[in-house]
Every structure is written in C-alpha cells, then in structure tokens.
Amino acid sequence: MISTVRLTEGLVDDWVTFDKSGLVLEQPIPPDAGPATILVTAVTNALKTVDVSGVVHASIDRDRVWAVAAIALHRSVLEALGERQMSIEEIIEAVPVVGHRWHISPISAP
C-alpha cells in the first residue's frame, strides 16, 4: 500500500513522482504534464502474441505499446485524494473520481 501522506512528504516544487511500489523518485516533470500524469517509456524488447499452449502467433507493433516508468502527481491531486493508504490500482481509479484526468507523457528511458 502507498501512503498519500508519505507521498506528500516527498513533494518537490508541488510535485511527487513515484514508481509502482510507491518509491519516491527524483524524476523531472515534463512541461506537458497534467496534474496526474503517467510517465511512459518506449518498449524496446521484442513483443509476441502467444497462446496458452505457448505457440507464438504474431509480433506486436512496439510503436503502439508503452511501459509505465512512473506516476507524477501534483499537490492538488494529493490533497484531493486525502490522507489514505492506497494501492497503485486504487490511486489510478481514484484520480478521476476526485475530478482529475490522467495524462500520458513519454520520457526518455533511464
């Protein structure tokens, strides 16, 4: 579970960035970031469609797939979420409920 209080303590210039485990990161915020932004990187690994028996059927177009690198939240979003313990899934679901939209912003891979 991720503590929104702990995330608030990690604010830098009214922003906090964290990974899927809730670890606060020092990640620059892209200029096009909205108050709730999912930071993504390009997928460079080969992707294949495989059925349950293990048979490879096709390659997937990597240009249409992104890997989630981090989540960036502005102070206003954290304040709207309140002081709670939440999973990453709950944070993703709660952001629209408190009146914010998710933005997607590509970043360079670390």
Each domain of the chain, given as residue ranges in start order, spans: 2-106
pLDDT band at 110 (very low <50, low <70, confident <90, very high): low
Give dist(CA 22, CA 75) in Å, integer. 16
Question: Could you report the per-residue pLDDT of 10-47, keeping only the tens digit for each?
Answer: 788 899 999 988 889 988 999 999 999 999 998 877 77
Give dist(CA 91, CA 98) in Å, integer. 10
Q: Which helix (H) or strand (E) holds 79?
A: helix 75-81
pLDDT at 83 over 70: yes
Q: In sequence order, what E strands does 1-110 have?
A: 2-3, 15-18, 24-25, 36-42, 48-50, 56-59, 66-74, 85-86, 102-106
